[in-house]
Amino acid sequence: MIWTLLATSELTGPAPFSDCRLNASEKDILNAEVLGATLSDEQVREILVETRENHEHDQNFDTDTLHKIIEYLDNPDIQANPQNYKALIDEMRIEAGLIRGNSPYAMVRGVVDPIDDPEMPSSTFRVWFIGILYAGILAFVNQLFSERFPAVSIGAAVAQFLAYPAGKLLERILPRKTLFTIRGRPFSLNPGPFNAKEQMLITIMANAAAGTPYTSSIIFVQVLKNYFNQPWARSYGYQLLNTLASTFVGIVSHPAHSL
Amino acid sequence: MMLTSQGIAGVCRRFLVWPAYCVWPGNLSTLALNKAFHRDDKSAVPGPFGRLYNWSRINFFYITFAIMFVYYWFPGYIFQALSTFDWIGWIAPNNNLVVNLASVEYLSLGLNPWPTFDYNYQTGIGSGLLTPLFTVMNMFIGIICAVITMLIMWFKNAWNTGYLPLNSNGTYDNTGARYNVSNIIDDKVRFVDEKYQAYSQPWMAAGNLVTYFFFFASYSATVSYTMLYHRQEIWRGLKGSFASMKAKFGRGHTEAVHGGEDVHFRLMQQYEEVSELWYMAILVLAVVFGIVGLACWPTGVSVGVVFYGIMFAFVFCIPIGIIYGITGQQVTLNVLAEFIGGVIGKGDALSLNYFKMYGKSSSAA
């Protein structure tokens, strides 16, 4: 009980800007305020109960925010005398808006937008051209130099960085004319400005190609005379089949969903 | 990160991609750069010294990029000793104990409060900017425990580690020389017991032994952590899986049975999900390729190794994925895979390699 009282006095004390307390940017707070104002008290409570259930043991969730949520949900005095807890109640309304309309994590809010434009072109000619080119370069360089000591490798971040000038160049030089329509969608080599989804797709393609498959190590020790000395492992069919098999059984894909 | 499209991913996205608790901290830098290029909103954010900052993201990126480019010339080329800044070793280069404990080089422990000025060395076990603080702290405590264990073993000469370097990953024979594997195998790279008895038992350094302790500890910890803290989410995900398969046999997905408070999941719902059948087809393809690849060439490896990999994935993919998604750290299965593979493979080195490969890559990103 003493703990609760201490926590309460801390919460209702003089507070700095609300955006500093909730660890969100100005714009996110404004959006959350707008959304929070449309929620009823029951909805706010419902969202926070769900959040507590999902994030109570979550190391990435902000501890201060979690304590405030628990305080808001568990202190019976807040229901009885809401006038004494105005700051906390207002803050929880914003927090509920933030959770409903954005990500519950400050680090995700910082880099991912809570809005999406489904009409933004994504699988464009530019993506496939730059993506396949970069994937090829990264795969070639990384595999060739993987056995050098120390190894030389180019990461997908380099491809992501260089995709921007390449995309902008193609945006400048490719013709904008609509060539034909597929399933009611116009197809053009150059559908407007180079966008975020295109750059992310190129990055994903380059990332998938940047790693060297585990089989390459096995094949090296098989072929080399001072190790296993098994020249039959030079067979392309053998290398290709086993590499594809080991690559296909894996599980964790990069969750590009979050874009 | 090598894997592109994977067989078991279709089942796993329900546990590892859709729920909001999967932050995947390692991906945030990619998203940040993307946002800096395309959606730079320049909104003010609270930062150090209690101030609000409204620099544009891309300017911040270019400035740090330029500083890093210039800075790297020093540890990289101009004064390479900044990379392995072994100042304690330079003070007492002939003191065996000091070099073993504090040197940053030469198979020693590197207990040096300021071991490097090179960012690439600092990020050797994961970027300090991307890895959440609780993960870094966990790793730090783990390293302290490992160092204490190593020192006790080394000073007590447990398993003869006192005769070997403190922190080497090599294998040694009974004379302290590097173990020569060629001495115990036949021309088909198979283990020969008579040769082994005539040569030597393999000995490992304290650092390498403790590494293996911690590998096995991390496997049981991975499974028990998931059972203790995430059984509800896994159960909800499984129920959702069955419901979705029942409803449409793998086409589209059902409503948010896993806690739909995440806005990004709701945004993605307007796109059609890739059918689970595609993932299944890729898994079948992997099995076929794997069996043909092993059976049509004189490998001598049992095709059962492909199913061994899949079995590994079904046990470990969700626990490992959840930990990866939350902490940004990946538990690799190579040690467990090679131990079991070594027992099954009965002294065949190529067979061991394939067991290790399938066991590891079936649950790796």
pLDDT in tens, A75-94: 888 888 888 888 888 888 88
Cβ-based neighbours of A209, under 8 Å, separated by 6 or more: A134, A135, A136, A138, A139
Neighbours of B3 (CB within 10 A): 23
Cβ separation B321–A26 shorter than 8 A: no
* The token pair that represents A70 in the structure block: 């628990």
**Which residue of B6, B13, B271 is in closest CB contact with A250?**
B6
Instruction: State the pLDDT at residue B311.
Output: 85
Instruction: State the pLDDT at residue A188.
Output: 87
Neighbours of A177 (CB within 10 A): 9
Tell me the backbone φ, ψ of residue B204, rounded to 5 degrees. -120, 155
pTM above 0.80, yes or no: yes
Instruction: State the pLDDT at residue A18.
Output: 42
Average pLDDT score over chain A: 82
Cβ separation B30–A156 shorter than 8 A: yes
Lowest mean pLDDT among A100-114, A142-156, B253-267: B253-267
Long-range contacts of A83-87 (CB under 8 A, 24+ apart): A84/A12, A85/A8, A85/A11, A85/A12, A87/A11, A87/A12, A87/A15
Instruction: State the pLDDT at residue A257.
Output: 32
pLDDT of residue A7 exceeding 60: no
**Which residue of A104, A112, A196 is in closest CB contact with B38?**
A196
Instruction: State the pLDDT at residue B275.
Output: 75
Q: d(Cα A94, Cα A72) in Å, to the nearest integer?
A: 13
Cβ separation B364–A54 shorter than 8 A: no
- Going from the C-alpha of A63 to that of each of A55, B56, B123, B263, the distances in angstroms are 10, 29, 26, 21
Please identify every stretch of chain B with a pLDDT value under 50, giving residue numbers as ranges: 1-7, 250-259
Cβ separation B35–A25 shorter than 8 A: no
- Determine contact: A103 vs chain B, CB below 8 A: yes
Predicted ipTM of the assembly: 0.85
Distance from CA of B299 to the nearest CA of A (A): 9
Q: d(Cα B110, Cα A32) in Å, to the nearest integer?
A: 49
Cβ separation B313–A249 shorter than 8 A: yes
Q: d(Cα B358, Cα B314) in Å, to the nearest integer?
A: 13
Instruction: State the pLDDT at residue B315.
Output: 84
Report which residue type is found at A87: A
Return the higher-pLDDT residue of A165 and A181. A165
Instruction: State the pLDDT at residue B245.
Output: 65
